[in-house]
Amino acid sequence: MKINLNNKSFNYIAVYMTLFYAFVTRSILATLVFRNVAMNLVVYGIIYIGLTYAFLNSFDRSHGHLYAPRGLFTIILLAIIMFYEMGVSDSLSSVRYYAIALLLPFAMLPEMKDSKNGSIAFAIIGVFFSFGCFFNYFFLPLYRALVKPLFSAVALESINATEKMRGTANYVAGFTSQVGYTSFFIIVCIGAVFCFRKTVFKRASYPLLLFMVGGLLLTGKRGPIAFFVAAIMLVYFMEGYGREKLYRVFKIAGLLVAMFMALAFLAKFTGSDGIKKIYETFQELITSGSVDDAGRTQLHEQAIRYFIANPILGIGWTNFMKMFTLRNTHVHCIYLQLLCETGLVGFIAFVGFFAKRFVATLKQAQMVNRTGNAMDASWIRFSLYVQAYFLMYGITGNPLYDVEETILYFFAIGISYLPLIGNKQGD
């Protein structure tokens, strides 16, 4: 028996509104959705009412005992560390954003894996952001006249600052204020189409994937694209069973060669600076094994200095950017940033959580090959894909410090907590 009324509509509202919030806040739609205080209160009110109800309803009371939902105590530990460190850095206002991400896994229902609507929604979102990249690249004057005025003043300031830094106005961010957000959103949506290509999209998956990959290439984000390829290959390998996995290793090797040749062709004949940078990055990785970035090396060295000075509890959440005013940016490595801002206590808790959930999801991905439920398998692989990409991108990026990206990660975590079809446990 549930503690509260067994009304699952609150869970659906909470999950879909939270995902809507994650994709909208950095896009051209933000000025329409969050145009005044009243609209802000409505959106946050709906999300928090739904998430709070779903959280309370996730507890079970059976035979006189109260059973906590899976993952409760681990996520509570993360919340305590995160909110304490926010207090240290005087950034408690961020609690209202991160609380959404931390509550999201408890709103997930097993029934959600039976629906095709979620995967279709991801495909629509991916097409939307990819179209923005093509429109930005091929119709720049129209983009400046029609799209840029739709951004908020803060977003425009970010766009203009980046254009000035790069020395060009040909800034292919499409319908968000930064290429980092655009590439992250498109990559997540590509993963959804890829993981559901056999169960939902079928033949439509090919044009969808081509269109979205094209939009992604236009962002010119080298690191994220490399990690995206690795995440896709991991999922493709995990789809195999038994001897087929060996065959897939050779298929992956052949596909990587074909992709490199295609990049070389596109870099030569399109003249796109973004695609050239991506090709040069892969070429550098192949020939020398590394791509040096002196700017990020400076950030990493400074993060280590802060950690040595404050090894146990760190300097406070996002305090690196406030203290290291020379660069005024994050560390561009979530692991080093956790180490310097939350100390050994926070680093062990967060990295332990990341590793535990990833390994558990990896095991689930192996198990679903034997369950026979295709939709279940698609959702688990999507969860594995998002987690893999988030954790790899965290090596060179800041996904944990962009709450929209953190929300999508915890959505994947919520999927991993759900029981497999025919199993009583999610692990």
- Per-domain residue ranges for the chain? 295-427
Contact 224, 191 (CB under 8 A): no
The C-alpha atoms of residue 256 and residue 150 are separated, in whole angstroms, by: 39
Q: Answer yes or no: is pLDDT of 291 > 80.
A: no
The C-alpha atoms of residue 221 and residue 275 are separated, in whole angstroms, by: 9
**pLDDT value at residue 336:** 94
Q: Answer yes or no: is pLDDT of 23 > 50.
A: yes
Q: Answer yes or no: is pLDDT of 246 > 70.
A: no
The C-alpha atoms of residue 274 and residue 211 are separated, in whole angstroms, by: 16
**pLDDT value at residue 58:** 86
The C-alpha atoms of residue 420 and residue 415 are separated, in whole angstroms, by: 10
Residue with tokens 């408890």: 106
Q: Answer yes or no: is pLDDT of 97 > 80.
A: yes
DSSP-derived secondary structure letter, 315: S
Mean pLDDT of 154-181: 76
The C-alpha atoms of residue 386 and residue 378 are separated, in whole angstroms, by: 12
Residue with tokens 């200095």: 305
Return mean pLDDT, the chain.
Answer: 85
Q: Which among 102, 79, 82, 90 has a CA at the least distance from the CA of 341?
A: 82
Q: Quick one: tokens of 60? A: 């079970």
DSSP string, 18-58: HHHHHHHTTBTTHHHHTSSHHHHHHHHHHHHHHHHHHHHHT
* pTM for the model: 0.88
The C-alpha atoms of residue 335 and residue 75 are separated, in whole angstroms, by: 18
Contact 380, 416 (CB under 8 A): yes
